[in-house]
Amino acid sequence: RVNREDFMRALDEVHPAFGVSEEELQQVIQNGIIHYDPVVDELLKSGILFVEQVRTSTRTPLVSILLHGPPGSGKTALGASIAQASEFPFIKLISPDTMVGYSESQKVTAITKIFADSYKSPLSVVVVDNIERLIDWTPMGARFSNAILQTLLVLFKKRPPKGRRLLIIATSSLRLILTDLGLSETFDSELRVPPVSSLHSLEHVVQELELFPSEQQRKNAMRMLGEAGFGSRDELSPTFQIGIKKLLSIIEMARQEPENVAERLTGALLELRAL
């Protein structure tokens, strides 16, 4: 059996996979996972429970989970990390980013092929990333590709052949729309990936990335944020809750100006509110 320590260790290691997607997976988790909030560990732990369920239970050869949350909250990275940590022999990422320029029918073919390939392996994980973009969801007029949606609906429900087991990890920022499209019912479980939502978490990220040369400077910056009305150690005001992806890019930007790191950080976060 795999315990939590093994799992956490596996997250830090590189593993070859048949699925060819090794490179793609590596790419989406190259920045690593920062444990800025207990919820991060809880999500990874839930992930491994589903991995173990697929690995051990003969009753559930197909398990599908949905990681949903605001844009940039870390859904793709978490999904890919869980997939990679499974060490299943077939791991594949289906991402709109790898299908740029594909026609609708090419996308249907590519998606169908990946699932067909997964059925050849005893244990597989398929990450279906960013469902709304996969189906070309357009809020204006609520348009989307029905062919791709129908393909996903069928594949999400299709039991793998005898002796084969499959974990599907889907991600989306538009959970409510998935319900309207009839996709929500296909998931066995939904996990919400929240934004960074406390000053304490924000400080954890800043510290992990060594944005400030000293603890004193870091503490001062955090005090500045508190005074600027960002919120408390335990809770950021809703307007300042920010996806980890965006926070990482703001931190790298602030780093470019070593003299004014705290001001740059505060300024960039303040701009978010203006959006």
Asked if 75 is part of the footprint of ligand ATP (rule: CB under 6 A), the reply reads yes
Work out how close the CB of 125 gets to ligand ATP at its nearest, in angstroms, rounded to a whole number. Answer: 16
Q: What are phi and psi of 102, to 5 degrees?
A: -75, 145
Asked if 177 is part of the footprint of ligand ATP (rule: CB under 6 A), the reply reads no
Asked if 139 is part of the footprint of ligand ATP (rule: CB under 6 A), the reply reads no
Q: Site for ligand ATP (CB under 6 A): how many residues?
A: 20
123 binds, among ligand ATP, Mg ion, none (CB under 5 to 8 A by kind): none
Asked if 76 is part of the footprint of ligand ATP (rule: CB under 6 A), the reply reads yes
Binding mask 22-61 for Mg ion (x = CB under 5 A): ----------------------------------------
* Of 28-36, 138-146, 218-226, 253-261: span binding ligand ATP (CB under 6 A): 28-36
Binding mask 69-88 for Mg ion (x = CB under 5 A): -------x------------
Residue 136 C-beta-side C-alpha neighbours within 13 Å: 16
Return d(Cα 114, Cα 111) in angstroms, integer: 5
Q: Site for Mg ion (CB under 5 A): how many residues?
A: 1
Return d(Cα 80, Cα 93) in angstroms, integer: 8
Asked if 74 is part of the footprint of ligand ATP (rule: CB under 6 A), the reply reads yes
Q: What are phi and psi of 60, to 5 degrees?
A: -125, 75
Q: Which tokens is 124 given?
A: 């597989």
Among 51, 78, 202, 265, binds ligand ATP (CB under 6 A): 78
Asked if 32 is part of the footprint of ligand ATP (rule: CB under 6 A), the reply reads yes
| Type and span of the H or E element at 19 | none
- Under 8 Å between Cβ of 90 and 19: yes
86 binds, among Mg ion, ligand ATP, none (CB under 5 to 8 A by kind): none
Instruction: List, as own/partner pairs, every contact residues 23-26 make where C-beta atoms lie below 8 angstroms and the sequence separation is at least 24, other chains included.
Output: 24/93, 24/95, 24/98, 25/80, 25/83, 25/84, 25/91, 25/93, 25/127
- Under 8 Å between Cβ of 207 and 199: no
Interface residue list for ligand ATP (CB under 6 A): 29, 31-34, 40, 71-78, 130, 171, 173, 244-245, 248
Interface residue list for Mg ion (CB under 5 A): 76
